[in-house]
Structure 1
Amino acid sequence: MKLLHFTDIHLTKEGDTIGGRDPNANFLKGLNHALALHADAEAIFITGDLSDWGDAEDYVRLKSQMAALPLPVHLMIGNHDDRPTFAQTFPDLFNDDGFVQYAVPLSIGTALCLDTWAPETHAGHYCDRRAAWLSAQLEHVPGPVWLFMHHNPVPIGIEPMDKIMLLDADRFAAVVAPHRDKVRHIFHGHCHLPLTGSLHGIPLSAPRGTNHAGWPDFGATRLLSTAALPEAYGAILATETTTLAHMVEFGYAGDIIGEGSPDYADWNRMTMVR
């Protein structure tokens, strides 16, 4: 099974830029790159910050773009989004409690798309009602389970980012921990950094994002840091027993060098590029 993981696409009004980059153009560039190389993917998951300012026209444009794609796209919302505005364009993604939470059957197991949004804050929240929904899903849906969400559920050691992580991380962890044998992987975004780790033994990861990149400034105390790094998305490869998450830096514009054959018999000092 192959899945594509996009995050932090930050769509804007046409012509607007973020950090000198055009997020609308970069999102389309990432989609085209992914579809050209991964036409065998089963689905695309976009883990939030769909719009930079939660504008209605961004969601309408995104829905139109999704309709033209040859594979399904599953959306979550992040802190830059606006849930009420999002609901005007994507009402079918809400559960009975009014959250953007739903299950996606896959060829291997089930993906659960989670809602960590709260109004007027960049931090993530996961209330009792959301946690109860997740608990019920983990009890009943076929495994393995893949969780997709916007906010990081573990601290990353960078003070300004940890202030806006999933603040209800203990509640979230208490729900998933009893199902550590069923939850195969947690995929998130928010940090604009390539991350790997685990929560109660459950692996987690995040790619950088399709527009502006973060920088891991461990000395930062107030401001988030950014850097001119390539835009990226994730490519997830899974079997019944394995999971692998690539971060594909589609924004890299340098040379790709053929270093040599992987066959050991062909390795020698004359032909290997170094």
Structure 2
Amino acid sequence: MKLIHMSDIHLTTPGREIFGRDPLLNFERALDQVRADHRDAELMVISGDLSDLGDLADYHLLRERLNGFPIPVRLCIGNHDHRETFLSAFPECADADGFAQGVHDTSFGRCLLLDTYEPQTAAGSFCRTRQAWLERQLSEHEGPFFLFMHHNPFPTHIAPVDRIGLLDDAAFRSIVARHRSKIRHIFFGHCHMVLSGSVAGVPTTSLRGTNHASYPVFAEVLTVADLPEAYGVAFIGDDYVTVHMVEFGYRGEILSEDSPG
């Protein structure tokens, strides 16, 4: 089965650029490529920073662009979003506690969409209420599970990135540890760079966003780099998960091995 993972689309006023790039144009280009190449995907998840400023107009624009999209789409929110504003445009994404969390069943397993947004900070939070929700979801179903979230759930060892990572990461990892036999993969965003690792033994991946990218400089600096815009394609089998980062923003040649000279 095939899954599409996008993150950090940062929609904003049409025509406004972020770091010299047009987020809406790039998001539309990503959608066009998914339509053309991946209509057989069973699900697409966008894991946060849907809007750059948390504006209602951005969420209306997102709903408009996803209307009629040939693949089911589920959404997470990130630090650039605004929960109440997002839920006013996507009320179906609210859980019983008012968080933007949810469940989506697929042929390859149960997907959990987590809310790591915390007001007035770029860092993420996974408070006791959200922890209880996750614990309940993992306890009440046999799985397998795939988790989607915005903030990085482990240290990147890039200090300014980790200061805005998931503040409750140890508590989150302890829940994952208790249920690791049921959880096959964790997908996240936020860092705008390619990352892989594990959380309590569960494999994790992240990727660049559909607009601007970061570069792993191991110093006291947040970076922006002129790297191609990207989204992820995951292939899920009974006993494996393969994740590709598709750099749809690459503008050079792609040659086959039998190309002349």
Counterpart of 1:202 in structure 2 is 202
SS at match of 2:189: coil
Q: 1:72-111 residue pairs with structure 2 within 5 A?
A: 72-111=72-111
Cα offsets for 1:173-208 (capped at 9, x unmatched) = 111111111100000000000110001110000111
Cα distance in 2, alignment partners of residues 90 and 59 from structure 1: 8
Confirm or deny that 1:254 pairs with 2:252: yes
Counterpart of 2:235 in structure 1 is 237
TM-score by length of 1: 0.93
**What residue ranges of structure 1 are gaps of 5+ in the alignment?**
261-270
Name the % identity. Answer: 50
Instruction: Letter of the 1:122 partner, please give it.
Output: A
Give, in angstroms, the shift of residue 141 of structure 1. Answer: 2.5
Counterpart of 2:3 in structure 1 is 3
Counterpart of 1:15 in structure 2 is 15
Give, in angstroms, the shift of residue 20 of structure 1. Answer: 0.5
Counterpart of 2:63 in structure 1 is 63
SS at match of 2:251: coil
Confirm or deny that 1:228 pairs with 2:213: no
Q: How many residues align?
A: 261
CA RMSD, 1 decimal:
1.1
Of 123-132 and 66-75, deviating more is: 66-75
Cα distance in 2, alignment partners of residues 87 and 256 from structure 1: 41
Give, in angstroms, the shift of residue 34 of structure 1. Answer: 1.6
Cα distance in 1, alignment partners of residues 74 and 48 from structure 2: 10
SS at match of 2:75: strand
Counterpart of 2:45 in structure 1 is 45
Cα distance in 2, alignment partners of residues 109 and 143 from structure 1: 6
TM-score by length of 2: 0.98
Cα distance in 1, alignment partners of residues 160 and 234 from structure 2: 29
Give, in angstroms, the shift of residue 68 of structure 1. Answer: 2.2
Instruction: Letter of the 2:208 partner, please give it.
Output: R
Q: 2:174–2:200: 8 Å Cα contact kept in structure 1?
A: no
Counterpart of 1:265 in structure 2 is none
SS at match of 1:213: coil
Cα distance in 2, alignment partners of residues 210 and 142 from structure 1: 34
Cα offsets for 1:93-116 (capped at 9, x unmatched) = 111111011110001110000000
Q: 1:115–1:149: 8 Å Cα contact kept in structure 2?
A: yes
Give, in angstroms, the shift of residue 272 of structure 1. Answer: 9.1
Cα offsets for 1:99-153 (capped at 9, x unmatched) = 0111100011100000000100000000000000000100123411000000000
Instruction: Letter of the 1:92 partner, please give it.
Output: E
Cα distance in 1, alignment partners of residues 183 and 246 from structure 2: 24
Of 28-37 and 186-195, deviating more is: 28-37
Q: 1:196–1:204: 8 Å Cα contact kept in structure 2?
A: yes
